[in-house]
Amino acid sequence: MKKFLAILLLGTALVAPVAAYARDVTIQGQMSSYRGPEAYLAVYLAKPDGSYDSTLYVAGRKSRYYRDLSGWARLAARDATLSLDGITGASIGSGKSFSINLSLADALIDAGYTIHIDSAVEHQGSAADDVVLALDSGQSGSAQSGQGFIGSASVNM
Amino acid sequence: MLRCLHSIPGLLAALVVSFMAITGAVLSLQPLVERVFAPAGNEMSVATLVDRVLAHQPQTESVVRSASGAVTAYVANLGIGIDPVTGASLGPVEHSALFTFFTELHRSLFLGDGGRVVAGVAAVAMVILATSGIALLINRMGGWKQLFATARGTLSQRLHVELARLAVICLLLSAMTGVYLTLVTFGIVSDGGQGFGFPPYGSGEMPAPIASLSALQEVPISDLRSIILPMADDTQDVFTVTTSAGTGYVDQASGALLDFTPNAPMQTLYEAIYTLHTGQGYWWLGVLLGLASLAVPVLMITGTLIWLRRRTSMPRMPCDAGWRKADTVILVGSESNTTWSFAATLRTALAKNGHAVHVAPMNGLRASYPSASRVLVLAATYGNGTAPANANRFIERLARFQGTGIDYAVLGFGDRKFRHFCAYAETVEHAMAAHGLKPITGFEPIDRQSAQAFGQWGRRLGAAMGETLELLHQPTQPKTQSYKLIERHDYGIEVQAPTVLLRFAIPAAPSWTQALKSRLGLDGFFAGDLAGIMPPTDPIPRYYSIASRSADGILEICVRKLRGGVCSDYLFGLRPGDSVEAFVRPNPDFRPDTGCQPLILIGAGAGVAPLVGFVRANSRHRPVYLFSGGRDPSSDFLYREELKAQLDAGRLTRLFAVFSRVMGGRYVQHRLLDEAEQLRSLVRQGARFMVCGSAAMGDGVRASLDNVLAPLDLSVERLQSAGRYAEDVY
Ligand SMILES: Cc1cc2nc3c(=O)[nH]c(=O)nc-3n(C[C@H](O)[C@H](O)[C@H](O)COP(=O)(O)OP(=O)(O)OC[C@H]3O[C@@H](n4cnc5c(N)ncnc54)[C@H](O)[C@@H]3O)c2cc1C
Ligand SMILES: Cc1cc2nc3c(=O)[nH]c(=O)nc-3n(C[C@H](O)[C@H](O)[C@H](O)COP(=O)(O)O)c2cc1C
């Protein structure tokens, strides 16, 4: 089980000057057994209208491969406030499980926001919106199956 | 030092390096497989390609062209093979499970970063092994120019050298590029990657047909690496095009190149090295690297055997002072290692007296020894007064030796039975004197490893050095086994040349390692190898040429009884059921080569035995001519019946049996002159000579053959240096 801690103070999503307003949220997932090199993932938040809000986490250290996460890369290109410092971690191998700890503003929960995960694997293509998870406390912990390299993922809040 | 560098990491890394090599060899097939399945190349533009792809696959998000020329369109994470000529789908791309599995195994052993470190360490070990191996080979072969001369030694040694010579350049290439790739993986060396560049905004105007976009029309697909298409409903989005030269962005509407970042030099370097390591796109390079990798496991096994043999046979010299610090340097010229044990005794005694001692083979003579005040040379003599293998380049090296302030002493090891008793050591003595070095004591020859003579020399050496030097030498005994006599046949009693053919059973392997070795055929012997027999009353073994091979299940020798001889007398007294203590020593330089040129075997008396062994093994029916000598066919015609049978079976082409005590009798060397014409014609066909028997016979044969060869402008010596004349005379 890999644990990645991302401390996020970016964009509109994360209003966390006072700790009391923030909530610990964990994204847990399981990669499918696609057999191949480790996957790059981009985890980002979308507004209730479906438009891009902010980037939460990127798995994979070589930034020149980020453009393979083409769906996310296009959206993030519009995000003038994006800084990747502190929100990147190691890429994730085939069949491995992963867990990403986030601290999100209370106001984002049950307000129609969604978490999108894009994935890409060297020589094997990419999957935009591999998994989309609703930030809905009613669905906390219920697993969604992925479309691409992610087997399943859930969000716990 | 060089040898340590080669053997220690070699043994430690052997398994990992072999593992990397084998997985690498599997991967090397990938470029070949891709080449076979790749569609024909095409000179169309990227604009045309993408247009055709979209006609068949409207949902395409990106198009990738691999080094082999295969084009893949990605619809989400589904890869679809594309025929670049028509743009038509070739069906989903199945990533070879095999190659994917081996790629990960090779890169990281499925152990993540830990595995990548292991792979990197293996690559470093391989670099060390390859470079130290080249240096050792140059040393061993006697310089660059001899690098490709015929390898000598045991089967392991020859295999190791031959394979290494074939593979080393490719291995070095794989290893060095592997080290680089590891350094890149861990970010120690930059791969020149540009980092994350977000695509710029496009004009946002109405997208034009792809085939009309000028920037995409200018890129031929041979330069294409990948192209990411704009998102369907985003007019501001752009094409992201990666070519071999760099990454650029193309506007959907105007077709203008909005931005282009050329590859940094480090990235170009990275890609070149990546290609060299994987052979991707160059199937022949992949095949070459793969073949070389296959040599690694064999090199590992033969290397380990060579190391084991050296370790078990050469006495270890712990706490060597090193050549820089030593005040006394002992140089050893030895073939079968007994002289090394004398050197060990000498070293221990000198160290006890407070000297810093360095021991090395004679070929290891350095240009200078900064702290030494004396060099002691212990040299055995072989063949016709020539140097043992580990001393054969000493004289040449001596020419470059700066020996100011260094005194010397030479001690010869030999056997008075040989015509050139201690001749090589004498040559060394003269060469050292001629080089202007000052002797500590006079030259001393030691007959048959006499411990007393060695002790006396030690006392004289000590006196000359102004100290007491007690050399108490305990001869190291070779590991023997009990061989039980099962059969004996006597010959030649009537003609005063008593000769006995002895057949011993091969003892069962006492330990599992030996059982394993014999299973693998590693401790096996061949005709021409030597049986060392320990007479019960003398600590020095006598050697007898073996006529059988281990696969026959018996050890067969022929012994001529010598008047007053200790061991031959002992062997003559054996009855079936008796046992002797014996060991086997390989004699790789006295083995028929594997060629198919004629083989001319010449031997007299007991010397015929190994030659008959060669005939027995001639299952390929190579032309073999045997000249055998004896006294009287009615009394000492050794192997008479068997040789007749071998003639009928075609393993022997012609037999010239010569006898000296009959009417008109003569020796083998005379018979050679009779057959001069035929011999010359065989020599012209590339014939190889092998001679076995007494030293006197050997000299006679050489003289006769020199006569025979003269019209061809050849001599025995020239054949010998060409590896076409081998002798085992005693
Ligand atoms: C590579 C090789 C292969 C051989 N193959 C064979 C073979 O196939 N068949 C075979 O029969 N022999 C072979 N020999 C010879 C064999 O090894 C013995 O040398 C031979 O059998 C005599 O040994 P011995 O113990 O009987 O005699 P030793 O006791 O060693 O005496 C040998 C001779 O030297 C004399 N001698 C002994 N000591 C001294 C001394 N201190 N000073 C002066 N003279 C002395 C003896 O009187 C005798 O004449 C081979 C030798 C070698 C090196
Ligand atoms: C095949 C062979 C050839 C030999 N030739 C000679 C020789 O020409 N002159 C000599 O003095 N000793 C000769 N010897 C004897 C060796 O030099 C002697 O046994 C020496 O101690 C061996 O030392 P090593 O075991 O260190 O090689 C020969 C020995 C063998 C086995």
User: Which residues does residue B330 pair with via DSSP β-bridges, in sequence order?
Assistant: B359, B376
Residue that the structure tokens 């007494």 belong to: B694
Number of Cβ atoms within 10 Å of the Cβ of B705: 25
Mean pLDDT lowest among A74-83, B53-62, B168-177: A74-83
Percent of chain A with pLDDT over 70: 87
Q: Do B95 and A123 touch (CB under 8 A)?
A: yes
Residue B17, CB half-sphere, CA atoms under 13 Å: how many?
30
Residue of B nearest to A77 (CA): B198
pLDDT band at A6 (very low <50, low <70, confident <90, very high): very low
Cα–Cα distances in Å, from B143 out to B139, B147, B232, B453, B654? 6, 7, 68, 37, 42
Q: How far apart are CA A44 and CA A81, in angstroms?
A: 14
Burial of B312 (0-12, 13-18, 19+ CB in 10 A): exposed
Q: Do B77 and A77 touch (CB under 8 A)?
A: no
Q: Where are the alpha helices (DSSP H) in B334-449?
A: 338-352, 394-398, 423-434
pLDDT at B533: 95
Separation of B359 CA from ligand 2 center, angstroms?
21
Contact B549, B527 (CB under 8 A): yes
ipTM of the complex: 0.73
pLDDT at B317: 67
Asked if residue B335 has its Cβ within 6 Å of ligand 2, the reply is yes
Q: Do A84 and B196 touch (CB under 8 A)?
A: yes
Mutation site for A-interface testing, chosen from B60, B196, B258 by largest number of A Cβ within 10 Å: B196
Q: How far apart are CA B137 and CA B161, in angstroms?
A: 8
Contact B38, B70 (CB under 8 A): yes
Residue A3 in this model has a pLDDT that exceeds 50: no
Residue B651 in this model has a pLDDT that exceeds 90: yes
Q: Do B193 and A76 touch (CB under 8 A)?
A: no
Burial of B89 (0-12, 13-18, 19+ CB in 10 A): middle
A144 Cα to chain B: minimum distance (Å): 18
Provide the mean pLDDT of chain B: 88
Provide the mean pLDDT of chain A: 83
Asked if residue B338 has its Cβ within 6 Å of ligand 2, the reply is yes
Mean pLDDT of B105-134: 88
Contact B345, B316 (CB under 8 A): no
Q: How far apart are CA B4 and CA B410, in angstroms?
A: 27
Judged by DSSP in three states, B711 sits in helix
Mean pLDDT of B390-395: 89
- Per CB-CB distance under 8 Å, the chain A contacts of B92 are none
- Per CB-CB distance under 8 Å, the chain B contacts of A62 are 193
The values of phi and psi at residue A113, to 5°, are -75, 150
Mutation site for B-interface testing, chosen from A124, A126, A147 by largest number of B Cβ within 10 Å: A124
Separation of B96 CA from ligand 1 center, angstroms?
68
Distance of CA A126 to the CA centre of its chain: 15
pLDDT at B355: 95
Asked if residue B337 has its Cβ within 6 Å of ligand 2, the reply is yes
pLDDT band at B107 (very low <50, low <70, confident <90, very high): confident
Percent of chain A with pLDDT over 90: 41
Mean pLDDT of B98-105: 86
Asked if residue B390 has its Cβ within 6 Å of ligand 2, the reply is no
- Contacts with B412 (C-beta within 8 Å, 6 or more apart), sequence order: B379, B380, B381, B422, B424, B425, B426, B429, B443, B444, B445, B446
Interface A-B, measured as beta-carbon pairs within 8 A, has a size of 75
Residue B104 in this model has a pLDDT that exceeds 80: yes
Strands annotated E in B49-140 = 62-65, 71-75, 78-82, 89-92
The values of phi and psi at residue B11, to 5°, are -70, -40
Cα torsion through B524, B526, B528, B532, rounded to 10:
20
Strands annotated E in B319-385 = 328-333, 357-361, 374-380
pLDDT at B514: 65
The values of phi and psi at residue B523, to 5°, are -100, 10
The values of phi and psi at residue B580, to 5°, are -125, 155
Q: Which residue has the higher pLDDT, A11 or B391?
A: B391
Mean pLDDT of B78-96: 82
Q: Smallest Cα–Cα separation from B104: which of A33, A67, A69?
A: A33
B41 Cα to chain A: minimum distance (Å): 20
User: Which residues does residue B560 pair with via DSSP β-bridges, in sequence order?
Assistant: B499
Asked if residue B420 has its Cβ within 6 Å of ligand 2, the reply is yes
Judged by DSSP in three states, B265 sits in helix
- Residue B204 touches partner A, C-beta closer than 8 Å: no
Q: Indicate which ligand has the atom closest to the C-alpha of B335.
A: 2
Contact B226, B63 (CB under 8 A): yes
Asked if residue B39 has its Cβ within 6 Å of ligand 2, the reply is no
pTM of the model: 0.59
Q: How far apart are CA B554 and CA B613, in angstroms?
A: 12
Q: How far apart are CA B707 and CA B714, in angstroms?
A: 9
Mean pLDDT of B245-266: 88
- Contacts with B617 (C-beta within 8 Å, 6 or more apart), sequence order: B526, B527, B549, B592
Separation of B584 CA from ligand 2 center, angstroms?
17
Strands annotated E in B402-553 = 407-414, 438-439, 444-447, 481-491, 499-505, 530-534, 542-545
- Per CB-CB distance under 8 Å, the chain B contacts of A85 are none
Residue of A nearest to B67 (CA): A123
Residue B244 in this model has a pLDDT that exceeds 90: no
B353 DSSP 8-state letter? T
Q: Do A63 and B196 touch (CB under 8 A)?
A: yes
Mean pLDDT of B136-154: 67
Burial of B278 (0-12, 13-18, 19+ CB in 10 A): buried
Mean pLDDT of B629-634: 93
Q: Do B193 and A64 touch (CB under 8 A)?
A: yes
Q: How far apart are CA B274 and CA B280, in angstroms?
A: 8
Q: Smallest Cα–Cα separation from B76: which of B64, B62, B90?
A: B62
Contact B392, B379 (CB under 8 A): no
DSSP output for B143-188: SGGGTTSPP-SSHHHHHHHHHHHHHHHHHHHHHHHHHHHHHHHTTS
Contact A14, A103 (CB under 8 A): yes
- Residue B94 touches partner A, C-beta closer than 8 Å: no
Mean pLDDT lowest among B126-130, B365-369, B410-414, B473-477: B473-477
Residue A15 in this model has a pLDDT that exceeds 60: no
Mean pLDDT lowest among B264-278, B374-388, B501-515: B501-515
Minimum-distance CB partner of B79 among A67, A84, A125: A125
pLDDT at B412: 97
pLDDT at A17: 42
Contact B322, B311 (CB under 8 A): no
Percent of chain B with pLDDT over 90: 46
Q: Which of the listed residues B332, B362, B418 should we mutate to test ligand 2's pocket, taking the one with most ligand atoms within 8 A of CB?
A: B418
Q: Do A126 and B78 touch (CB under 8 A)?
A: no
Residue A114, CB half-sphere, CA atoms under 13 Å: how many?
16
pLDDT at B659: 94
- Composition of chain B by helix, strand, coil, percent to 5: 45, 20, 35
Distance of CA B605 to the CA centre of its chain: 36
A interface residues, B as partner, C-beta within 8 Å: 35-37, 62-64, 66-67, 70-71, 73-74, 76-77, 84, 93, 119-121, 123-128, 130, 147-149
Judged by phi (left if over 0) then psi (alpha if -120 to 50, else beta), residue B564 lies in left
Q: Indicate which ligand has the atom closest to the C-alpha of B609.
A: 1
Tens-place pLDDT, residues B279-305: 887 888 888 999 999 999 899 888 888
Residue A111, CB half-sphere, CA atoms under 13 Å: how many?
10
Asked if residue B532 has its Cβ within 6 Å of ligand 2, the reply is no
Q: Which amino acid, residue B376?
A: L
Nearest protein CA to atom 6 of ligand 1, as residue: B544
pLDDT at B137: 79
Residue B373 in this model has a pLDDT that exceeds 80: yes
Residue B90 in this model has a pLDDT that exceeds 90: no
Q: Which residue has the higher pLDDT, B264 or B613?
A: B613
Contact B235, B252 (CB under 8 A): yes
Q: Do B76 and A126 touch (CB under 8 A)?
A: yes
Judged by phi (left if over 0) then psi (alpha if -120 to 50, else beta), residue B286 lies in alpha
Q: Do A125 and B77 touch (CB under 8 A)?
A: yes
Minimum-distance CB partner of B199 among A77, A119, A125: A77
Structural tokens at position B158: 């020859």
pLDDT band at B113 (very low <50, low <70, confident <90, very high): confident
Residue B592 in this model has a pLDDT that exceeds 60: yes
Residue B328, CB half-sphere, CA atoms under 13 Å: how many?
21
The values of phi and psi at residue B8, to 5°, are -70, -55
Contact B160, B310 (CB under 8 A): no
Q: How far apart are CA B20 and CA B122, in angstroms?
A: 7
Residue B646 in this model has a pLDDT that exceeds 70: yes
Judged by DSSP in three states, B446 sits in strand
b/e B102-115 (16+ beta carbons within 10 angstroms → b): bbbbbbbbeeeeeb
Residue A5 in this model has a pLDDT that exceeds 60: no
Tens-place pLDDT, residues A55-65: 999 998 887 78
Q: Select, from the ranges B519-533, B587-601, B624-638, the one with the highest average predicted confidence (pLDDT).
A: B624-638
B21 Cα to chain A: minimum distance (Å): 20
Percent of chain B with pLDDT over 70: 93
Cα separation of the two ends of chain A: 19
Mean pLDDT lowest among A121-130, B555-564, B644-653: A121-130
Mean pLDDT of B516-527: 68
pLDDT at A11: 37
A114 Cα to chain B: minimum distance (Å): 20
Judged by DSSP in three states, B571 sits in helix
Q: Which amino acid, residue B200?
A: P
pLDDT band at B85 (very low <50, low <70, confident <90, very high): confident
Minimum-distance CB partner of B77 among A62, A76, A149: A149
Residues with CB under 6 A from ligand 1: B 416-417, 447, 530, 535, 542-545, 557-560, 562, 564-569, 606, 609, 728, 730
Mean pLDDT of B597-605: 95
Mean pLDDT lowest among B39-53, B512-526, B530-544, B612-626: B512-526
Burial of B124 (0-12, 13-18, 19+ CB in 10 A): middle
Mean pLDDT of B253-277: 88
Could you identify the atom of ligand 2 that is nearest to the CA of residue B335? 27
- Residue B231 touches partner A, C-beta closer than 8 Å: yes
Cα–Cα distances in Å, from A76 out to A46, A51, A79, A121, B240? 11, 11, 5, 19, 15
Minimum-distance CB partner of B194 among A35, A64, A147: A64
Residue A26 in this model has a pLDDT that exceeds 90: yes
Helix-then-strand count for chain A, H and E: 1, 10
pLDDT band at A126 (very low <50, low <70, confident <90, very high): confident
Residues 237-266 of B with CB under 8 A from A: 237, 240, 247
pLDDT at B437: 94
The values of phi and psi at residue B166, to 5°, are -70, -40
Mean pLDDT of B190-216: 81
Number of Cβ atoms within 10 Å of the Cβ of B346: 25
Residue B175 in this model has a pLDDT that exceeds 90: yes
